[in-house]
Amino acid sequence: MAFLKRIRQPSYGICVWADALCIDQGNEKEKAVQVGLMTLIYPQAAKVLVWLGDPGTEDALVEEAFRGLEVWASAYSNKEEQMRLAGEPDMVGGSSFASALAALFARPWFRRAWIVQEVMVGGFETPPLVLCGRHEISWHRVFTALFGIFSTLLHTGAAELCGPNVMHLTPLLQMTGGTEADMSLTNIIPRMSLREATLPQDRVFAMFGLAEKSGSRYPAPDYGLSVRDVSLIYTRAIIVTDKRLAILSYVNPTPGPDRLPSWTLKLERTQLIRESPDTVAREDL
């Protein structure tokens, strides 16, 4: 309700498509069909809006975070300005700006699996507008600012600047800055391991539209399948479709209660996945 009040216009009506409301979340067949339409829906929108919620008692922190991101985004193309900002106590780790960023990125939206589609499908031509209460900023500006912060402060505390939430952000930034050639499930799935999803299957299904957009063809989402079946089917499909064994270098062989084969993706685990240097499949064969 707060979101609808935020975007309503006094002089004219607007048409809003919100996935949580417009898709019957209890209808597995409808959800499966709608997932395949996401890459058509977002590009046709006049504007994609990201709602981070009402800041409440954190209004001042959100305002400072957005203001600082705008400053860093403006300095992105000027290396001298970036280095000047890196030398300012108010713009580096441990500052009030760092605390503001940490509070901003702690919001649940930044951890969701489905946000990757929201920020990527439109591309830089129609970047989403990020709203938090009365404050707003273009996702392109957020991406540009964080890319500048990470590259400038790489050796002086970029991780400290954003706190532990940086682990959730760096894969998202890597994907946002990637090309369509990077959008195979081989490249996407490992970066989704820290994303939160209501259903484990969504760690794959949330990426289906992006992978299809890049020209790859994978089995269509099917919410009637068990987590075990999705793990088996998609691990096989990724290997066959991408004609690479690289996905096996991200597989966690630790046995679990699901008794899945060791070579399958473990979709139920929220964990940081790193490429194993000991896996022969890390190179194409």
236, pLDDT greater than 80: yes
Kindly state whether residues 252 and 266 are assigned to the same domain: yes
Model confidence at 112, pLDDT cuts 50, 70, 90, reads confident
Q: Is the domain of 200 the same as that of 143?
A: no
Domain co-membership, 229 together with 264: yes
Same-domain status, 34 and 128 = yes
**CB-based contacts of 18: which residues, under 8 Å, 6+ apart?**
3
The confidence score (pLDDT) of residue 87 equals 62
Same domain for 227 and 132, yes or no, is: no
With tokens 């273009």, the residue in question is 138
Distances in Å between the Cα of 112 and the Cα atoms of 173, 192, 203 are: 14, 9, 10
Q: Clarify whether residues 72 and 109 are in a common domain.
A: yes
172 and 275 fall within a common domain: no
Please return the burial class of 73, using the count of CB atoms within 10 Å of its CB with bins 0-12, 13-18 and 19+. buried
Q: Are residues 146 and 156 in the same domain?
A: yes
User: Of 143, 178, 213, which one is at a domain's C-terminal end?
Assistant: 178
Regarding whether 105 and 162 lie in a shared domain, the answer is yes
Read off the pLDDT band of 65 (50, 70, 90): very high
Residue in the structure block whose two tokens are 């630790």: 254
> What is the count of structural domains for the chain?
2
Same domain flag for 84 and 186: no
Spatial separation of the C-alpha atoms in residues 276 and 283, rounded to whole Å:
11
Q: End-to-end CA distance of the chain: give it in Å, rounded.
A: 53
pLDDT tens per residue, range 11-45: 988 898 888 788 888 888 898 888 878 878 888 88
Query: Do residues 29 and 147 share a domain?
Result: yes
- Residues 241-259 have pLDDT tens digits of 888 888 887 776 666 666 7
pTM of structure: 0.81
pLDDT for res 145: 86
Mark which of 178, 201, 227 sits at the end of a domain: 178
Q: Which domain holds residue 272?
A: 180-285
Of 178, 211, 236, the last residue of a domain is 178
Same-domain check for residues 100 and 227: no
Give the residue among 161, 145, 142, 152 at the shortest CA–CA distance from 99: 161
